[in-house]
C-alpha cells in the first residue's frame, strides 16, 4: 500500500484519531477527491464504533449515493447502515429550522415565505457558509435541533474547496463580531470555539501529489495557524502512483524483451513511471517538511470500480492507516 515512513515523519495512528472528534472538516483544492475521502472517513469512523453522519454542502445527493443509501431522508438525514448516516445541507431549510427554533412556527412560516427576507439573507456575506457550518455543528452530540433530530458522535463535513472552505471556517467569527448579541452571536461563538479546539474538531486536507494542490495545502495550513490558531490534523494524499521500478527491475525489463523497439518502449514506460514516483516523493516531502501533521497516502484505484466500491476500498485503507499498531 504505502511506503514505510521515513525517519522523523509523523505516523498517522500515533497522533490522529477520529475518536471523540465531534466534527471533522474535510477540505482541499477542487478535484482532489474530497467527497470520496469524506465518505471513506465516514465508513471508517462508523466502523470504529462512533455514530457518524457525513454531510455534503449541496443537495446533489452525491454522498448518500457514494455510501449506497437507499432509505428516504428524515429531516435531511438518511440512514445508510449501522451507525452511519448521510445528509445534504440546504442553507434555506437550515434557516427556516433556525427561525422556527427561535421564534416559533407562525413567524417562521411568515419569514420563510418572504422573498425580501430570503434575498436579504442570501446577500449577507458569509450567511450561507455560517448556516452550513452551524447545521453541521447541530448534528453533533447533544445538539439535536428539532424534535425528530438525531444526535451523532461524529459529524464529517465535506466542505467546499479550499477558498470557499476557508470562508466557511471564518464565518462564525465574522458573525460573532458583527452581531451585537442574542442567539446568532451565542451560536456563532459556540461553533467558533469548536473549530478552534483540536481535541474536539479535526481539519483534514485532501490533496494530490501534484504541485498546485500541494502548494494550496501548505497555504491552508498557514491560514489555520494565523486565523484559527491551530493546524491541520491530517493530510490525505490521494491517487498516489504505485511503487516505481528500481534500476534492477529496469534491467530485468530490458533483458526480457528481445525486440529492439519493444525494449525501448518498455524502458521508456518504466522510466516515466520512475520519474513520476520521484516527483511524487519530492512533493510529499515538501508537505511533511512544512506541515506538522501526519500524512497518509491512498492509491489511484481501478476505473472499473463503482463509486461505492471505491469508497469501501478507500475506507479499508484509511482504517488501516489510522489503526493503532498491534
CA dihedral in degrees (177, 180, 184, 189; nearest 10)?
A: 40
Owner of C-alpha cell 420563510: 112
Per-residue pLDDT tens digits for 115-138:
555 554 555 557 778 888 988 998
Q: How many angstroms from the chain centroid is the CA of residue 231?
A: 15
Round to whole Å and give the CA distance between 217 and 267.
34
Owner of C-alpha cell 511524487: 280
Q: Given a cut of 60, is residue 314 above it in pLDDT?
A: yes
* Fold of domain 12-243+294-322: Rossmann fold (3.40.50)
Q: Given a cut of 90, is residue 108 above it in pLDDT?
A: no
Which residues have CB under 8 Å from 322's CB, separation 6+?
12, 13, 16, 17, 18, 44, 296
Domain ranges of the chain: 12-243+294-322
Q: Given a cut of 60, is residue 148 above it in pLDDT?
A: no
List of long-range contacts for 184-190, beta carbons under 8 Å, 24+ apart: 187/134, 188/130, 188/134, 190/137
Round to whole Å and give the CA distance between 306 and 277.
27
Q: What confidence tier does 143 reach under pLDDT thresholds 50, 70, 90?
A: low
Q: What confidence tier does 150 reach under pLDDT thresholds 50, 70, 90?
A: low
For the chain, the maximum distance between any two Cα atoms, rounded to a whole number of angstroms, is 83
Q: Given a cut of 50, is residue 73 above it in pLDDT?
A: yes
User: Checking phi first, is residue 126 left (phi over 0); if not, alpha (psi -120 to 50) or beta?
Assistant: left
70 exposure class (CB count in 10 Å sphere: 0-12, 13-18, 19+): exposed
Specify whether the CB–CB gap between 295 and 322 falls below 8 A. no
Round to whole Å and give the CA distance between 176 and 314.
38
273 exposure class (CB count in 10 Å sphere: 0-12, 13-18, 19+): middle
pLDDT score for 114? 57
Specify whether the CB–CB gap between 18 and 45 falls below 8 A. yes
Average pLDDT, the chain: 81
* Total residue count of the chain as it appears in this document: 326
* Spatial CA neighbour of 132 closest among 240, 222, 23: 23
**Which of 3-12, 55-64, 247-256 shows the highest mean pLDDT?**
55-64
Residue 25 pairs in a beta bridge with 157, 203
Of 73 and 26, which is predicted with more confidence? Answer: 26
Q: Given a cut of 60, is residue 154 above it in pLDDT?
A: yes
Q: What is the pTM of this model?
A: 0.83
Round to whole Å and give the CA distance between 289 and 125.
36
Q: What confidence tier does 58 reach under pLDDT thresholds 50, 70, 90?
A: confident
Per-residue pLDDT tens digits for 80-95:
988 999 998 877 677 6
In our burial notation (b when 16+ CB lie closer than 10 A, e otherwise), range 248-264 reads: eebeebeeeeeeeeeee
Residue 92 pairs in a beta bridge with none
Amino acid at each position: 500500500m504505502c511506503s514505510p515512513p521515513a525517519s522523523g515523519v509523523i505516523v498517522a495512528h500515533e497522533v490522529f484519531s477520529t475518536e471523540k472528534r465531534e466534527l471533522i472538516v474535510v477540505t482541499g483544492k477542487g478535484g482532489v477527491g474530497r467527497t470520496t475521502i469524506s465518505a471513506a472517513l465516514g465508513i471508517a469512523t462508523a466502523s470504529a464504533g462512533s455514530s457518524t453522519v457525513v454531510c455534503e454542502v449541496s443537495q446533489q445527493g452525491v454522498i448518500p449515493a457514494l455510501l449506497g443509501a437507499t432509505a428516504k431522508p428524515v429531516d435531511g438525514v438518511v440512514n445508510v447502515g449501522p451507525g452511519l448516516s448521510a445528509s445534504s445541507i440546504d442553507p434555506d431549510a437550515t434557516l427556516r429550522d433556525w427561525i422556527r427554533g427561535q421564534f416559533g412556527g407562525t413567524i417562521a412560516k411568515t419569514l420563510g415565505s418572504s422573498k425580501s427576507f430570503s434575498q436579504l439573507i442570501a446577500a449577507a456575506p458569509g450567511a450561507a457558509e455560517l448556516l452550513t457550518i452551524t447545521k453541521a455543528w447541530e448534528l453533533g452530540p447533544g445538539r439535536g435541533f428539532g424534535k425528530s433530530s438525531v444526535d451523532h458522535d461524529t459529524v464529517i463535513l465535506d466542505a467546499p474547496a479550499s477558498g470557499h472552505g476557508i470562508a466557511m471556517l471564518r464565518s462564525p467569527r465574522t458573525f460573532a463580531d458583527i452581531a451585537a448579541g442574542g442567539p446568532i452571536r451565542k451560536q456563532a461563538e459556540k461553533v467558533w470555539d469548536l473549530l478552534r479546539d483540536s481535541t474536539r474538531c479535526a481539519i483534514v486536507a485532501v490533496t494530490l501529489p501534484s504541485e498546485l494542490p500541494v502548494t494550496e495545502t501548505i497555504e491552508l495550513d498557514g491560514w489555520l495557524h494565523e486565523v484559527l490558531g491551530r493546524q491541520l490534523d491530517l493530510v490525505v494524499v490521494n491517487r498516489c502512483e504505485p511503487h516505481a521500478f528500481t534500476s534492477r527491475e529496469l534491467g530485468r525489463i530490458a533483458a526480457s524483451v528481445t525486440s529492439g523497439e519493444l525494449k525501448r518502449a518498455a524502458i521508456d514506460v518504466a522510466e516515466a513511471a520512475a520519474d513520476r514516483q520521484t516527483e511524487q516523493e519530492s512533493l510529499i516531502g515538501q508537505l511533511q517538511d512544512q506541515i506538522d501533521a501526519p500524512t497518509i497516502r491512498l492509491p489511484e484505484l481501478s476505473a472499473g470500480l463503482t463509486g461505492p466500491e471505491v469508497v469501501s476500498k478507500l475506507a479499508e485503507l484509511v482504517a488501516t492507516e489510522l489503526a493503532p499498531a498491534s
